[in-house]
Structure 1
């Protein structure tokens, strides 16, 4: 009696959770590129699928519709910006260094921040606003203002800054940095680094800091 060798069938590959997360991230990245460069109404699910290199039907596996994808892209962009803000804050104990690095971060990450500002502008005029995303956007600005406010207070306690309102100084920085990014969207040829350097000097004068 002879032993028959059984041929094993190759195991079928199934998509792992990691594969799914990577694919979702690729779709979000493609969506961010489109939402930050074109008007929301001019973008279709097919456009996003083509840029991501996937079938249109796959997008509906991850996202209910274009509106859901837009919300996810906004959350992704805000989350990335907040991580950058918190990283800068964690690196410095000296207020002048922190604020100086804050300005420099906007130069180094200008393209990413411009994309976020463009998406926020679209969202502010979108009928698809939701309370959840309003909270995400509010938290983003709250984190920024809180970090800068604390830095200004530390500078005042150290005798480096004059007695201005720390919250007003933080709002001044946040608002005008956004303004530079909005201007760069309107005029793409704008020298962002030069504009931020000019504003940095205006901010130091506002808080009374002399180098």
Structure 2
């Protein structure tokens, strides 16, 4: 039992460090937040940073990514290939919007992401290379197959960015949405309804693109 308790205590200490780092890095930036004040806020020993994260940079990477969940937004896109497009879209938006249920954590993550763009450490570029671009490529592949195209063209990229852009707006504009229409994100159920609506809007966009291509005579069999 003692070993189990030690593991749980360790997990708790690590989680406290990540959340303390998220708050302080979001408020002060990578250079402004010190490891000592992070540990004080987390109620952890300074040596815990080296033990769990290696160094301050490792802790920053954890704070930058982990609070959004174990699975990156849209990471399951590659598994949706066998589904009908409307169902795939529902799962996409469900997964993508899940972190919005985390409330204050998500606000802090967005604040940290905005700060990273102004004061880059390389974490944002890593996220683009490791998560965002593969997710985009997977969505582009889905759209290309559905539209019956021989290959990817710039309009498929436009469509993919437009579809995901609807969901991204609710992260980037989280404070605006919360002030203008707070009922949209008031509960976990509200977030789920939002995902369903965005899936419907995305389906309309895809069908509209299919009709446009058919009208131009450049759409293959679907």
Whether TM exceeds 0.5 here: the answer is yes
1:57 Cα offset (Å): 4.8
TM-score normalised by L of structure 1: 0.64
Q: 1:85 aligns with which of 74, 81, 104?
A: 74
Q: 1:53 aligns with which of 28, 43, 59?
A: 43
Partners of 2:156 and 2:141 in 1: CA distance = 7
Which has the higher Rg, Structure 1 or Structure 2?
Answer: 1
Conservation of the 8 A alpha-carbon contact between 2:39 and 2:46:
yes
What per-residue deviation string (whole Å, max 9, x for no partner) do you get for residues 79-106 of structure 1?
8343x53335425612321112111223
Secondary structure class of the residue paired with 1:39: helix
Alignment of 1:121-200 (within 5 A): 121-127=114-120, 129-130=121-122, 134-157=125-148, 165-189=155-179, 190=182, 191-192=184-185, 193=191, 196=195, 198-200=197-199
Q: 1:101 aligns with which of 71, 79, 91?
A: 91
What per-residue deviation string (whole Å, max 9, x for no partner) do you get for residues 121-148 of structure 1?
2211115x23x65233333211221221
Partner residue, 1:118: 111
Partners of 1:118 and 1:80 in 2: CA distance = 19
Conservation of the 8 A alpha-carbon contact between 2:110 and 2:171:
yes
TM-score normalised by L of structure 2: 0.61
Conservation of the 8 A alpha-carbon contact between 2:86 and 2:203:
no
Which moved further from structure 2: 181-190 or 92-101? 181-190
Secondary structure class of the residue paired with 1:93: coil
Partners of 1:35 and 1:138 in 2: CA distance = 26
Taking only aligned residues, the RMSD between alpha carbons, in angstroms, comes to: 4.0
Partner residue, 1:204: 203
Alignment length, in residue pairs?
186
Which moved further from structure 2: 139-148 or 118-127? 118-127
Conservation of the 8 A alpha-carbon contact between 1:99 and 1:148:
no
Q: Tell me: higher relative CO, structure 1 or 2? Use CA pairs within 8 A at least 6 residues apart.
A: 2
Partners of 2:177 and 2:156 in 1: CA distance = 31
